[in-house]
Amino acid sequence: MLERLTTLSRSAKQTILLILDIVLVPASLLVSMAILSGYLPSAAAIAAEVPALILLTTASAFLSIALGLPRVQLKSYELSALGRSAALAAVLAGILGIMVMAGLSAVEVGAPVVLALIYTVFSAASRLFLLQILISVYRQTGAETRVMIYGAGLTGVQLAMALKSSQDVRLLGFLDDNTVLHGMTVAGQTVYPAQRIEMLLEAHKIDKVLLAMPSLSQPRLAQIARRVSRLKVEVQTLPSFAQLIGEEAIVDKLAPVLPQSVLGREHFADALDGGCGAYEGRVVMISGAGGSIGSELCRQILHCNPTKLVLLEVTEFTLFSIERELRALAEETLCQIVPVLASVCDARAVTATIRTHGVNVILHAAAYKHVPMVERNPIAGISNNIFGTLTMAQAAADNEIERFVLVSTDKAVRPIGVMGATKRLSEIVVGDLARRNSTTIFAMVRFGNVLGSSGSVVPIFYEQVSRGGPVTVTDPDVTRYFMTIQEACRLVLWAGTLAQGSGEIFVLDMGKPVRIVELARQVIEGSGYSVRNASNPDGDIEIITTGLRDGEKLHEELSIHQKLAPTAHPKLSRAREVALSEFEIARALQGLRSAVDKGDANAAVEEMMRWVKRDLVANTAPGVATGDL
């Protein structure tokens, strides 16, 4: 029968509450008479008060409807609704007082006041009792969610009070790190030590833990959330109630560190200006146009006013994204944006694109560059980085375009992994074509890590900080050269303009190498947190070492030889390195092609590293005269 209460219509429930308000009148009057006289009223005394009871119950019915008491839901009955009940009781007391003075009631003089108090208490208590009955019924007939609140502060208490009236949520206590609160009862619930969380969640069969600690740092919240999640319990967090209503700001502490702050040198921010000579009024094709380097080259080259910008990209979505962005940027220019969905390994597509659009300059930025990924997929790395570069450079030479610029990397210097080796051989391929071609100007630009590019450590560090850490570095002594993506692309364009032919290798001035562990510390502290270590055990984020990955070196170099030749730009130098012979390069490509065609990754890597080592020996042998590659 109790279950039927949950299916009653709203009007039926309001009728029940109205009847309750009416029935409480005689009950309250009888209790008042008993309190004042000290004994239960006789039947004669009760009969004498029938006129008063009729008037009071009638008045209570009209007043209850007028005050809207039946429309107040049981779970919403609080101070404002209690005030309405008190107002109704006060009116009833006034009516009874008038009747006593008029001789229409024989109750004692203090009865009206006692009636008002008793009626108010009965009204609140009866509704609370009904609410508990309904909650019990709902819990028995439906699936309840068993929860605990982590944090017994103000936000936790306010949340607990709000959950009390919930039919399908059962609160089973608080968890808190504050030892002072342990064992205390807060908002009707016991506060347990957070250290016993595993045992408590299992013992109480908790379904969900609510994190009610808005003042706690994001990393600490993330650590707690991971700890609870491992126990197969859902975790939810909420801001303070002051934040929810706008009295306090909800601030993300992960404010990005400015790239300049981690360079260890002054940021290079010269205007491109004179670097536009090779691109103004030309048709420029950028391979890998949707990548981080390629897309920034596209943005910057628009300032050089090319007549057409051809975007060569193998990934449809990134091509769509960069084309859409560039069309908006080029609205006030005469530059035509042409998207081409094709691979740099597709010789027919590359040649057709060059001829169809009359390409004058190629900036080749397409490459697989993530060291561990290429290490695990050497065939793909060799095909794209070496043979893709060969396809692009050969097409440039065959069609006698003006300039071809290869975007290379410092990992091509003394490479020990697959990615670096593919980039070194791609440099060798371009250098070979430069020496055999008198029409196209071939050049290469070599630089280190680019802040903000895909796979850069800084975004990875931020993502790790947002999860509460730890922040991982491969080795405490590892260093890398860093440059912002804007700096790198600006200097690539300058190198393309300054190139004179013969396959020059341009090296960017990247300042001093930066320790990665120091970079991790700057990201943590720049995000508003502290590093947790032996000297600071209460810090927010820990830095841990994972060990160097395959293909990685402790320190990178920008050139095999320390002596660099200056150029017209103070941030650009020319590296002087020895080249393999044309015959050696042909043999290397033939061996690599054979291994790739067979799908033999081990043979391909072995063949590639053999020629890379031979190149290194040629460049480091004593007494060898060096010339431009």
Render pLDDT for 547-565 as a digit per residue (tens, 0 to 9). 887 777 788 777 777 678 8
Dist. CA 582–CA 585, nearest whole Å = 5
Q: Given a cut of 80, is residue 91 above it in pLDDT?
A: yes
Residue 629: per-residue pLDDT: 39
Confidence of residue 253 (pLDDT cuts 50, 70, 90): very low
Q: Given a cut of 60, is residue 254 above it in pLDDT?
A: no
Q: Given a cut of 60, is residue 316 above it in pLDDT?
A: yes
Q: Given a cut of 90, is residue 401 above it in pLDDT?
A: yes
Position with higher pLDDT, 165 vs 462: 462
- Is residue 628 classed as helix, strand or coil in its secondary structure? coil
Q: Given a cut of 80, is residue 247 above it in pLDDT?
A: no
Of 220-234, 334-348, 481-495, 574-588, minimum mean pLDDT range: 220-234
Residue 271: per-residue pLDDT: 55
Average pLDDT over residues 352-374: 94
For 13-41, give one letter per residue: b (16+ CB within 10 A) or e: bbeebbebbbebbbebbbbbbeebeeeeb
Confidence of residue 138 (pLDDT cuts 50, 70, 90): low
- Give the DSSP H or E segment for 234: strand 234-237
Written as six digits, the tokens of 182 are 């342990």
Q: Given a cut of 50, is residue 283 above it in pLDDT?
A: yes
Q: Given a cut of 90, is residue 464 above it in pLDDT?
A: no
Average pLDDT over residues 391-415: 93
Contacts for 602 with CB less than 8 Å, ≥ 6 apart: none
Dist. CA 213–CA 227, nearest whole Å = 16
Average pLDDT over residues 235-262: 51
Phi and psi torsions of 450, nearest 5°: -110, 120
Residue 531: per-residue pLDDT: 87
Residue 262: per-residue pLDDT: 52
Mean pLDDT of the chain: 83
Confidence of residue 143 (pLDDT cuts 50, 70, 90): low
| Alpha-carbon separation of residue 316 from 297, 327, 367, 495, 616 (angstroms) | 19, 16, 16, 29, 38
Q: Given a cut of 60, is residue 255 above it in pLDDT?
A: no
- Maximal C-alpha separation, the chain: 131
Confidence of residue 234 (pLDDT cuts 50, 70, 90): confident
| Alpha-carbon separation of residue 24 from 34, 135, 607 (angstroms) | 15, 23, 96
Q: By the 8 A CB rule, do 572 and 494 touch? A: yes
Domains, the chain: 2-140 (no CATH), 143-244 (3.40.50.720), 276-450+481-512+557-620 (3.40.50.720)
Q: Given a cut of 90, is residue 427 above it in pLDDT?
A: yes
Peptide linkage before 70 cis (omega within 30 of 0): no
Position with higher pLDDT, 382 vs 22: 382
Written as one string, the DSSP assignment of 496-512 is HHH--STTEEEEE---S
Q: What percent of the chain stands above pLDDT 70?
A: 87
Greatest mean pLDDT range, 131-140, 381-390, 477-486: 381-390
Average pLDDT over residues 392-400: 95
Q: What percent of the chain stands above pLDDT 90?
A: 30
Greatest mean pLDDT range, 276-280, 299-303, 356-360, 467-471: 356-360
